[in-house]
Structure 1
Amino acid sequence: MIVVTTPTGNIGTQVLEKILNNGEPIRVIARDPSRLPASFRERVEVFQGSHGDSAIVNQAFAGADSVFWLVPPNMQAASLEAAYVNFTRPACDALKRHGVKRVVAVSALGRGWPRHAGFVSASLAMDDLISGTGVSFRALTMPSFMDNMLMQIESIKNQGMFFSPIDGDRKSPTCATRDIAAVAADLLLDASWSGQDSVPILGPEDLSFNDMAGIMTEVLGKLVRFQQIPFDAFKARLLGFGMSEAMAQGMVDMMAAKNEGMDNTVQRTPQSGSPTRFRQWCEDTLKPAVTH
């Protein structure tokens, strides 16, 4: 029995799609089951509610062998600890109570970074909480997602620009969510592993935002430029979008760490170098979104 959290989210949907045809019984925890494709709803057991809810996770984890764990975004959270660690506590209690064997979780690069790194530090604290249950655990540790570029789709489409406080010449790894889902699905379907470890997913290449702008220009057939913005202006934007002070500062602290090279601390290997190139992602995902 596999339990999938966030089954209607970007990564969770792709994980669910990849494991549906493998004969394993599957449960999902969804706040709004109507957002599941009808073809999915017919083939899974649905628990409606939040996976931060003790009653829900205790029901869903009973008899489960493996859990896919992803904390949903909560941009109005009062603190990073509330958003990541406190949200995960009921699940950790349920993991122990029901003897769940394996957990695969979406996390972040940054273990060993010497300074607070906002969302990343909170995510790693969540990993430590899960590890403390004694469950066999794989933390998928990622840099930034290519798919995050879709959050700026309107400015790319209408202004030919995208923005970040990170230096436009800093080359860093990025990965596609499709590759994260593929690694997660393989681990969920494999009953042979045990112990606790991190699994970096680093994409096939390091690119700067200026590199990305050049690739987007070529793929889209229109000029796209990158504009670095000050960190205070970046934070003001986040607050303007409705983020709480704590979450906006957490995002700023994470981006500052990335700007200092946090995502470059893990060396790419044949195992960690996931396949989707940024150019391919632009052709498959960004271009259809821009031209839609």
Structure 2
Amino acid sequence: MIVVTTPTGQIGSALVRRLLAANQDIRVVVRDPARLADDVRERVEVVVGSHGDPVVLDAALPGADALFWLVPPDRSAGSAREHYLGMARVAATAVRRHGVGHVVGVTSAGHGWAPSAGVLSAAFAMDDELAASGAAYAALSMPFYLENLLGQVDSIVRDGAFSLAVAADRPFATVATDDIAVTAAHLLTDRAWEGRRDLPLFGPDRLTPTEMAEVMSRALGRPIAFRPVSIEDLAGAMRAAGASEQAVRDTTEMFVAQADGIYDADWAVAELGATDVATWCRTVLAPRLAAHPAWAA
């Protein structure tokens, strides 16, 4: 039995379908079962609730051979570290209590980075907690998700541009969430591995944001530009939107670490996913843009 958290998210939903295609027995933990696709809901066991709740995990983990773990964002959390560690402690205790043999967690690339990296450092603390659970633990260590750009669809349509708080001319590591699901499915079904493993997974490109914009322009058939945002402007925008000072610190420290090269050491050892930026633009971004009422105007 494989237990999957966040089964309606971008990674979790793709993972569930891959596991079902492999005829695996699956139990999912989900707050709202109505968000599961009908063909998925009829083939999986469903435990309703949050996987941050020990009662819910006690219902989900009996008889489980493996657990897929992903911490969803929580804007109400006091800090990223508090959020990640709080959930990880609940998970580690439940994994230990129920004797789950293998855990695959989604985390950040850049393990061993000494300066504070905000959200990324919180994910590293989560890894330490889960690795101490007694289960074999694989940390799927990710750079920037390409799917994060979907939050800028309006800007891409309106302004023909996307923005990040990184340098325009420095290679920026990215990965597609479907590639994460592919790797997670392999680890969850072929459980010959033991101990703690840090597994960086990057996309096959090594592009600067300016080069990403050029690739995007060719794939979409219209000019798209990259517009860098300063850390100061990012912090100001977050404050204007009502973010707490801790949330601002967690986010800006993450982007500073990315700008300073937190992912660089992993380039040499990372497994490369199959989805390059051009393919992602054609298969994921283009359909989302096509659904925007102003894209064809």
Q: TM-score, normalised by structure 2?
A: 0.95
CA distance in 1, matches of 2:87, 2:236: 26
d(CA) in 2 for partners of 1:221, 1:199 = 35
CA contact under 8 A between 2:216 and 2:277: conserved in structure 1? no
Is the CA contact (8 Å cut-off) linking 2:176 and 2:203 kept in structure 1?
yes
Q: Take 1:281 and 1:22, find their aligned partners in 2: how far apart are those partners? A: 24
CA 241–6 in structure 1, closer or farther in 2 if over 3 Å, else same: farther
Counterpart contact for 1:2–1:27, Cα < 8 Å: yes
Amino acid at match of 2:231: F
Cα offset, 1:114, TM superposition: 2.1
Looking at structure 2, the residues matched to 183 and 131 of structure 1 have their Cα atoms a distance apart, in angstroms, of 19
Indicate the residue corresponding to 1:287 in structure 2: 286
2:82 is matched with 82
Moved over 3 A (4+): 239-244
Tell me if the contact between 1:202 and 1:268 (Cα under 8 Å) persists in the aligned partners.
no
Write out aligned runs for 1:96-111 (5 A).
96-111=96-111
Equivalent residue, structure 2, for 1:166: 166
Within a 5 Å distance, the mapping from 1:237-256 to structure 2 comes to 237-256=237-256
Maintained 8 Å contact 1:2/1:24? yes
- How far did 1:241 drift? 4.2
Q: Which residue of structure 1 aligns with residue 272 of structure 2?
A: 273
| Runs of 5+ unmatched residues, structure 2 | 292-297
For these two proteins, the number of residue pairs brought into alignment is 291
Contact 2:81 2:121 in 1 (8 A): no
Query: SS of the residue aligned with 1:199?
Result: strand
Tell me, what secondary structure is at the counterpart of 1:76?
coil
Q: Is residue 2:205 matched to residue 1:205?
A: yes
Alpha-carbon deviation of 1:287?
1.1
Distance, in Å, in 2 between the alignment partners of 1:34 and 1:240 is: 34
Residue 72 of structure 1 and its aligned partner are, at CA, apart by 0.7
Partner of 2:225: 225
Residues 81 and 119, structure 2, Cα contact 8 Å, conserved in 1: no
Shift of the alpha carbon at 1:234? 0.6
**Is the 8 Å Cα contact of residues 143 and 175 (structure 1) preserved in structure 2?**
yes
Structure 1, gaps ≥5 residues long: none
Counterpart amino acid of residue 277 in structure 2? F
Cα separation, 1, equivalents of 2:203 and 2:229: 26
Q: Under a length normalisation based on structure 1, what TM-score does the superposition of the two structures give?
A: 0.96
Residue identity (%): 39
Q: 2 CA distance for matches of 1:262 and 1:96?
A: 32
